[in-house]
A and B are shown apart, each in its own frame.
Chain A
Amino acid sequence: MSKAPASVTFRNVSKRYGLVTAVDDVSFTIEPGTLVTLLGPSGCGKTTTLRLIAGLEMASEGEILIGGADVTRLSAADRDVSMVFQSYALFPHMSVIENVAYGPTVQGLPKARAREMAAEKIAVVGLAGLENRSPSELSGGQQQRVAVARALVLEPQVLLFDEPLSNLDAKLRRRVREDIRALQQDLNLTVAYVTHDQEEALAVSDRIIVMSNARIAQTGTPRELYEQPADLFVADFIGDANILDGVLEEERGDRGLVRLGSIQLELARRGAKKGPVKLAVRPDALAITTVANGRASVEGVIEHSSYLGRSLEYRVSSPLGELFVVDNGRAAVHAPGSKIQVGFSESGIVVLPN
């Protein structure tokens, strides 16, 4: 593709419906050629943000720039942006090729040229030979690829995906998300991608924008978000976490000595001051043993256990509160009621700022 991808910039954008604020003073930049995920629980404003980029919603306040140009007041038809819809939104009265050729056709290109462009993109998504099928004759995965081809055909500056995997079955999702990522990297596209599935977001993104209650909770690479969550919400939303109360007893440079019940851990302080702190403890940072394992373990009683094949999940009651533990080892299953020890490793535990 000859064209350079464009950046997307939001400057203090808000969107209000009457008294409801769907997007509240949001600012971010999507660098050209990257895939950025908007992640958050339903109702957090991520889809509205995506629609603001597309021009399907008009911002109440703020500026939206695509490729450096102000598009805040441009309608969807005038923005160089295409979107793959959650429902795919394939026109049911048109064949595959007509669907894909729709964009160039309404731009006024000759029909033959439009079809040529469409056929090229259908080949890119690997559907050559199905051009004359109607969308209803395709499987869900194929329909989705038609939707992608249709969005690609105008070679937009920015490509948007609205929960593209939600209508696919679990096995297919992994395949399709790899395909989307490969396509984005091969064609060097700027992509904004909405999902509520944190695992999906971690898997495909260059960067993730986590949204909560119409605002941005944290922005960062997948690794940054998982290992250094900015707050309780992000820690809890990206991967599971046990949120425990601890006390920072001693500041040691950028690290600190944290007391958690009977145990003491030395952790990165992340700006926290001496006094009570919240800790996010990943379930796989905990290990269940039958005998005490030095200083860093507490007693507990198994409340509930689930066997998931690849791993074991436990709910353990302990003096620190209820703990959620994932055991990836091949250890024996502990029956509910067993008295056990829960060991803390320092790697999967983070101090939350404030």
Chain B
Amino acid sequence: MTAITEAAGGSSRPRSAGEGRGKRRTGAESVRSGPLLLAAWIAYALLPWYWLDFQAPAGMAGYPLGPAGSGLALALSGKAWWLAPILIPLIVATVAWRTADPLRRNGLLVFAGALGLWAVLKQGFVVGLKGWNFAWVAALMGGPGPSQAGFGLGAGLLLLCFLLLMCQGLAGRGWCRGDAFIVSAVGIVVALILLFVFFPVSTILASAFQDNAGHLDFALFVAKITDQSIWGLDCVTGRLRCGVAWNTLFLGVLVGVATTALGLAFALIATRTDFRLKGALRILSILPIITPPFVIGLALILLFGRSGAVTAWLSEWFGIPRSRWIYGLPGIFLAQALAFTPIAYMVLVGVVQGIAPSLEEASQTLRASRWTTFRTVTLPLLRPGLANAFLLGFVESLADFGNPLVLGGNFEVLSTKIFFAVVGSATDQGRAAVLSLVLLAFTLLAFWAQQMWIGKKVYVTVGGKGDAGLPLPLPKRVAVACYATALPWALFTASVYVLILVGGFVRSLGRDYTITLDHYLSGFRIEQGAGGLVFSGGAWDSFFATLEVAAMAAPLTAVIGLLTGYLLTRQRFAGLRAFEFSTMLSFAIPGTVIGVSYILAFNVPPFELTGTALILVICFVFRNMPVGVRSAVATLSQIDKSLDEASLTLGARSWTTLRLVVLPLLRPAILATLVYSFVRAMTAVSAVIFLVSAKYNMATTYIVGRVEAGEFGIAIAYASVLIVVMLVAILGFDRLVGKRKLGRREAPPVTVAAGG
């Protein structure tokens, strides 16, 4: 491609007196690097290079040197001489800015941007907190080497400027139809995904191949990954325990089967019977979103634990001895089945509704009985949906961390084992990394199987045209089977939730049923102090921190997710498929793995973020971003692309089009993403438990802490407060948008297409 600006900048285009036309901007003006260049120079020469802690003001002592010193000053004074080479790309970019020839200018910009990124990153990775980060550099340069802290404000801004300069250059050379906004958006999203998804995961990989001193050790990796504690099969032959990998897989399969069967029963009742309490089934679709996953486990302890309500009742009336059976496989299985059945239900409801009724009617007119129709038409059509639901249940079980933590007992699964390898008495990061790899491999395999095997077998049974047929009622025996499975389970679920809501108001479930507000008071006491209200309850800190982090994460998630969705559906560029895959990757990675990888990657310079609220926000943003991507893709694929094109031909650039045309139409998706990411940020536990600090404790980790300390009352009281807060948020949103689409969790491409 030749330079777009060349044609645009020329004055050869005749302009007539028509109004408005004079305002049409040309391509040359849109690629303006002046302000960016200025920002880059400010970032390098004026802003503090290392300081990032927004809570504590930078010590201005000694500025422009000192702790808040700028990159340029530190480099020239020799205190951080390795920052000096960054001057070169800056000068190149400045030369580019003064260059008139567009082809040369854009080439220089790309070169300067790329060189700048490389120069800043390289010095950051080479010079660490404890001197040279690589043995060979130390050997080459001698000595322990200089030390520096992680990137701060100046370094971060400079990186961004270099990235954008490079994108401007690429746009000038005709990338993405010469649209600088689009190229920059792609550049930023790709850079963020590289930094916050690929970089941590590759750190885990690297760490798995190293010993704890940081030396490459392949034999150790082999020894670790083939360890008996992971793959041992002793439980088959003797009474010894099996390896943790087998435990995890076995549990996952059990949970997958159970949730699929239960979900199918609920889905059939909801769509194919005239069951009167269908409205209640809708609650099922909200429950998993607002319930922190481990709360179910907590409720099970309160029901069936040694001093649980049911246990006490059984031992009093029937003399059944109290036991600890709930701790271990049965407990985790029950808890996960309770927690994840609604997910299977939501997937399967969509699939059952997606079956065109005319297919069943066709079968009936060919004189098949209801049962034969169900067996030979309905069930086979459901098969991909069933497989999908199973895989989701399987993956959720693998990723679940809270329930095994509170209910596990001696039954170990990968997610808890990883946790204890990091925080336990015998801290072993290498071991945690190896276990994370195994877990990651399982999950990715499951997702891969889903894509390869089911993705191609999807029966899109509803076309664009409306289907006038009526769905068949269920055959009698199927209906009976559904009711027999679903109703007791629904009752069980209901009683668990009642217990969660009631449990906080009694002194001690199973022992002392005196009604009390003590638990709420100790957690959420508000006193009238000298200077106004004082939030003296123990839970307030974590509650506010959670709200704060969730409120910061939600809009960022929405912005990045929706922007990515927009790029995926509306733009064509090289590497689009890989780009799409990488945006979905963070969803497939179990939270525990994310947690470990963030610790490994962001605990040391150049990206030193642990202990800040920022890392929690970032973690949530990239965990939940795929939801924003999916909802934007779903919404945008229903909006004809010609709307954007009409705006373009009327002289609006892509940013104006995005703002005036796309965003207003995306409003439901934006709100859904905001609420979803807000709520998920409040309920997540697996990743954040690694990342919380004394200053930023989260509600969920606070509750887990109370459970581990045996303070069940306050834990359950706090959990019900969370559930109520989120219920209010979701219902308020429901009212606001008037659309009940929220039930969809990240439903991977199911067979459904909306009927016309």
Contacts and interface: CB of A to CB of B under 8 A. Distances in A.
Interface of A: 2-4, 54-56, 58, 67-83, 85-87, 89-93, 102-104, 106-109, 113, 117, 150-151, 154-155, 160
14 contacts: A2-B18, A55-B648, A69-B13, A70-B12, A73-B174, A73-B178, A75-B4, A76-B648, A82-B650, A85-B645, A102-B650, A106-B656, A109-B23, A150-B646
B660 interface: yes
B12 A109 contact: no
Interface stretch (B24-32, B317-325, B694-702): B24-32
A70 B1 CA distance: 15
A56 B4 contact: no
B661 A107 contact: no
Contacts of A58: 174, 177
- Please name the 10 residue pairs, one residue from A and one from B, whose CB atoms are nearest each other, closest first: A89-B642, A103-B650, A89-B646, A76-B648, A106-B652, A69-B13, A73-B7, A107-B23, A85-B642, A107-B20
A92 B665 contact: yes
Given A71-B7, A75-B178, A78-B24, A91 B650 contact: no
Interface in B609-663: 640, 642-643, 645-653, 656, 660-661
B20 A89 contact: no
Interface in B439-470: none
Interface string B51-70: 00000000000000000000
A157 B165 CA distance: 35
A150 B661 CA distance: 15
Contacts of A73: 1-4, 6-8, 27, 174, 178
A4 B17 CA distance: 10
B577 interface: no
B359 to A, nearest CB: 30
Nearest to B654: A77
B643 A89 contact: yes
B738 interface: no
Interface in B12-57: 12-14, 16-21, 23-27
A69 B14 contact: yes
A118 B1 CA distance: 38
A4 B8 CA distance: 22
Interface of B: 1-4, 6-8, 10, 12-14, 16-21, 23-27, 174, 177-179, 640, 642-643, 645-653, 656, 660-661, 664-665
Contacts of B6: 73
B650 A150 contact: yes
Contacts of B640: 87, 89
Contacts of B27: 73-75, 78
B103 to A, nearest CB: 12
Which of A56, A81, A86 gathers the greatest number of chain B CB atoms within 10 Å?
A: A56
B642 A86 contact: yes
B23 A108 contact: yes
B649 A3 contact: no
B649 A82 contact: yes
A80 B39 CA distance: 34
A296 to B, nearest CB: 51
A2 B20 contact: no
Contacts of A69: 12-14
B650 A3 contact: no
B646 A77 contact: no
A89 B7 contact: no
Given A86-B642, A154-B20, 18 more contacts: A3-B16, A54-B645, A70-B12, A73-B1, A73-B4, A73-B8, A73-B27, A77-B651, A82-B649, A91-B646, A93-B664, A106-B650, A106-B651, A107-B24, A108-B23, A113-B19, A154-B650, A155-B19
B25 A78 contact: yes
B24 A155 contact: no
Nearest to B650: A103
A102 B651 CA distance: 9
A145 B650 CA distance: 16
Contact of A75 (B177, B643, B647): B177
Nearest to B648: A76
A210 B235 CA distance: 77
Contacts of B3: 73
Contacts of A92: 665
A270 B25 CA distance: 51
B657 to A, nearest CB: 8
A109 B24 CA distance: 11
A56 B2 contact: no
Contact of A3 (B17, B25, B178, B179): B17
Most buried by B among A67, A73, A86, A151: A73
Contact of A106 (B179, B643, B660): B660
A77 B648 contact: yes
A98 to B, nearest CB: 10
A70 B7 contact: yes
Contacts of A70: 7, 10, 12
A74 B649 contact: no
Contacts of B23: 107-109
Contact of A102 (B4, B174, B647): B647
Contacts of A75: 4, 27, 177-179, 648, 653
B179 A117 contact: no
Nearest to B12: A69
Contacts of A91: 643, 646-647, 661
Contacts of A78: 8, 24-27, 651
A163 to B, nearest CB: 11
Contacts of A117: 19-20
B642 A3 contact: no
Contacts of B20: 103-104, 107, 109, 117, 154-155
B646 A3 contact: no
Nearest to B659: A106
A54 B649 contact: yes
A74 B643 contact: no
A74 B28 CA distance: 10
Given A74-B8, A82-B650, A106-B656, A93 B177 contact: no
A81 B649 contact: yes
B20 to A, nearest CB: 4
A159 B2 CA distance: 27
B427 to A, nearest CB: 52
- The residue in A56, A67, A75, A79 that gathers the most chain B C-beta atoms within 10 A of its C-beta is A75
B182 to A, nearest CB: 10
A71 to B, nearest CB: 7
A346 B19 CA distance: 56
B671 to A, nearest CB: 15
A277 B24 CA distance: 55
Contacts of A71: 7, 13
Contact of A4 (B10, B16, B650): B16
Point out which of B13, B19, B20, B177 has the most chain A C-beta atoms below 10 A from its C-beta.
B20
A72 B6 CA distance: 11
A76 B645 contact: yes
B307 to A, nearest CB: 59
A103 B661 CA distance: 12
A155 B647 contact: no
Contacts of B25: 77-78
A137 to B, nearest CB: 18
B646 A85 contact: yes
Contacts of B651: 77-78, 103, 106-107, 154
Contacts of A76: 645, 648-649
Nearest to B643: A89
A342 B412 CA distance: 91
Contacts of B642: 85-87, 89
Nearest to A56: B645
Contacts of B10: 70
A71 B191 CA distance: 33
Contacts of A85: 642, 645-646
Contact of B7 (A74, A106, A160): A74
A89 B645 contact: yes
B409 to A, nearest CB: 56
Contacts of B661: 91
